[in-house]
A and B are shown apart, each in its own frame.
Chain A
Amino acid sequence: MLSVFVFVRWSKEAIRRHWPALGKGILIKSGTGVRRWCRLLGSGRPKMEIPDYAVSRSFLSGSVSRLSPYIRHGVITLREVLGHVRRSFAGQRLDKFVQELAWRDYWQRVYASIGDGIWQDQEPSKTHAAYACELPADWGFTGFACMDGFASELERTGYLHNHARMWVASYLVHWRKVAWQAGARWFLRHLVDGDPASNNLSWQWVASTFSSKPYYFNRENLERYTEGRYCAVCERKNDCPFDKDYAGLAEELFPGIVTR
Chain B
Amino acid sequence: MKLIWVHADCLHRESPAFRAYPDSPSLFVWDDAELQRAGWSLKRIGFIYECLLDLPVTIRRGDPVLEVLRFAQELGCSGVATVATPDPRIQAQAAAMGAEVLTLEPFVEVQGKLDLARFSRYWRKVEPALLGEGR
Residues of A within 8 A of B (CB): 1, 3-5, 7-8, 12, 15, 19, 21-22, 26-28, 30-33, 36, 69-70, 73-79, 82, 94-95, 98-99, 101-103, 105-106, 108-113, 115-116, 155, 157-158, 188-192, 194, 196-197
Task: Determine if B105 is an interface residue (Cβ-Cβ < 8 Å).
Answer: yes
Query: How many Å from the CB of A183 to the closest CB on chain B?
Result: 14
Q: Are B54 and A28 in contact (CB under 8 A)?
A: yes
Given contacts A33-B13, A94-B131, A158-B43, 15 further A-B contacts (CB under 8 A): A1-B36, A19-B42, A32-B13, A73-B9, A74-B83, A77-B105, A98-B131, A102-B108, A103-B119, A105-B107, A105-B108, A115-B86, A115-B88, A158-B41, A189-B40
Query: Which residue from A4, A36, A116 sits with its C-beta under 8 Å from B42?
Result: A4
CB A15 to nearest CB in B, in angstroms, measures 7
Check if A111 sits within 8 Å of B10, measured CB to CB: no
Task: Collect the chain B residues with CB atoms within 8 Å of residue A106's CB.
Answer: 116, 119, 122-123
Tell me what chain A mostly uses at the interface: helix, strand, loop, or mixed.
helix
| B59 contacts partner chain A, Cβ-Cβ < 8 Å | yes
Shortest CB-to-CB span from A120 to chain B, Å, is 13
In the complex, the answer to whether A77 meets B104 with C-beta atoms within 8 Å is yes
7 A–B pairs (Cβ distance < 8 Å), ordered by A: A15-B49, A26-B43, A73-B8, A79-B106, A105-B108, A157-B43, A192-B47
Q: Is B88 in contact with A22, judged by CB distance below 8 angstroms? A: no
Asked whether B133 is an interface residue with its Cβ less than 8 Å from the other chain, the reply is no
Chain B neighbourhood of A79, CB < 8 A: 104-107
Q: Given contacts A75-B12, A190-B44, A197-B86, is CB(A110)–CB(B116) below 8 Å? A: yes
> For residues 62 through 120 of chain B, which have their beta carbon under 8 Å from a beta carbon of chain A?
83, 86-88, 104-108, 114, 116, 119
Residue from A7, A30, A109 within 8 A of B114 (CB atoms): A109
Q: Which residues of B contact A98 (CB under 8 A)?
A: 130-131
Q: For residue B119, which residues in chain A have a CB less than 8 angstroms away from its CB?
A: 102-103, 106
Closest to A70 in B: B51
Report whether B131 and A78 are in contact in the complex, using a CB–CB cutoff of 8 Å: no
Q: Smallest CB–CB gap between A126 and chain B, Å?
A: 14
Contact of B86 among A27, A111, A190 (CB under 8 A): A111
A-side contacts of B54, CB under 8 Å: 28, 30-32, 36
B48–A73 CB distance below 8 A? yes
